[in-house]
Amino acid sequence: MIASLARRALYALATSTELESVVRAVPPVQDLALSQARRYVAGTTLDEALVTVRRLVGDGLAVSLDLFGEGAADEEALAATVDGYREAAAALADVGGDVYLEIVPSHLGLDLGLDVCRRHVEQLVEFLPAGSRLEISAEEAERTPHIMDLTIALAEAGAPVLATVQANLRRSPGDVDRLLAAGVPVRLVKGAYLEAADIAHRWGDETGVAFVRLAHRIHAGGTPPLLATHDRVLLEALLEALPGAGVEMLLGVREDDARELAGRGVPVRVYAPYGDSWFRYWMRRVAEAQGA
């Protein structure tokens, strides 16, 4: 109960514009916060992030590179975001290794309309190196229906997309079936947002059970899932039961486990976000640690 309350309090802080403004306004405080966040952040610039990506690739790991941000509210902000993603996509060609580009739909205009977001996302596909994919991030439950529509529309148009499904959402079995019918591979996560009880399973065992059931459902559909969790017991059980399944882990979290799994021949991908908007992401990682 105490951990759950602490997690909720930290999530509230993670989404607090006021707190972020206070931290960012005082350079020594900002520097201290960034020093704590560094383990989870590939860099504050693309050049810094590419150094991290090359290190991970050198360790035999696949990578998903993501530019921080969410909730773009106007076309001017969108233009800058698209330029940033496009620069990142183009840079992947020089990295080598198995590197995807992760995108956050609301960062690319989803809240302004599905067509707006799709138009911007389609621009990025042209810059992806051969063999790479667009890994589409999950967001709050209220955005999930639009994200599913976007993902399937892109796949039907031939875009190389990888969907994200949140195990804690009660709607997810239906989303999995829809994605599998469209031939879209799935990354399965437990779910990083606090949602109402009628929308989502409770954090903990209830979500863990939903995760296992969905992993089996995805595998039975003919596409090995990408299991995004650091729960080693859960991972080992699922990897044994689901041949071909891969793993995705967060930068800065149990990297020794990632290298050990990769050394055993398990496909392991590391999520490596970068950019100046690191504060909320870091606070979410701290909050999640309370529910581990």
How much is the pLDDT for 1? Answer: 43
**Stated pTM of the model:** 0.89
Q: Are residues 31 and 97 in the same domain?
A: no
Rounded Cα gap, residues 43 and 60, in angstroms: 20
How much is the pLDDT for 16? Answer: 63
Mean pLDDT of each 10-residue bin along the chain, 292 residues long: 54 65 71 81 95 96 92 80 92 91 94 93 91 95 97 97 98 98 97 90 93 98 96 96 97 94 97 89 71 43
Q: Are 251 and 64 in contact (CB under 8 A)?
A: no
* Domain residue limits at 36: 1-41+276-292
Q: Are residues 235 and 193 in the same domain?
A: yes
Q: Given the DSSP bridges, would you call strands 161-166 and 99-103 parallel, antiparallel or unpaired?
A: unpaired
Q: Are residues 136 and 259 in the same domain?
A: yes
Torsion of CA 210, 215, 64, 160, to 10 degrees: -120
Element of type H or E holding 284: helix 279-289
Q: Are residues 63 and 94 in the same domain?
A: yes
How many domains is the chain partitioned into structurally? Answer: 2
Q: Are residues 229 and 284 in the same domain?
A: no
How much is the pLDDT for 13? Answer: 63
Closest among 174, 198, 176 to 189, alpha carbons compared: 176
How much is the pLDDT for 4? Answer: 52
Q: Are residues 107 and 248 in the same domain?
A: yes
Closest among 235, 201, 210, 230 to 292, alpha carbons compared: 230
Q: Are residues 155 and 34 in the same domain?
A: no
Closest among 230, 274, 226, 233 to 98, alpha carbons compared: 226
Q: Are residues 5 and 121 in the same domain?
A: no
How much is the pLDDT for 73? Answer: 73
How much is the pLDDT for 107? Answer: 92
Give the HSE-up count for residue 222: Cα atoms under 13 Å, Cβ half-sphere: 7
Farthest-apart Cα atoms in the chain, separation: 52
- Look up the CATH number of the domain holding residue 238: 3.20.20.220
Rounded Cα gap, residues 278 and 24, in angstroms: 11
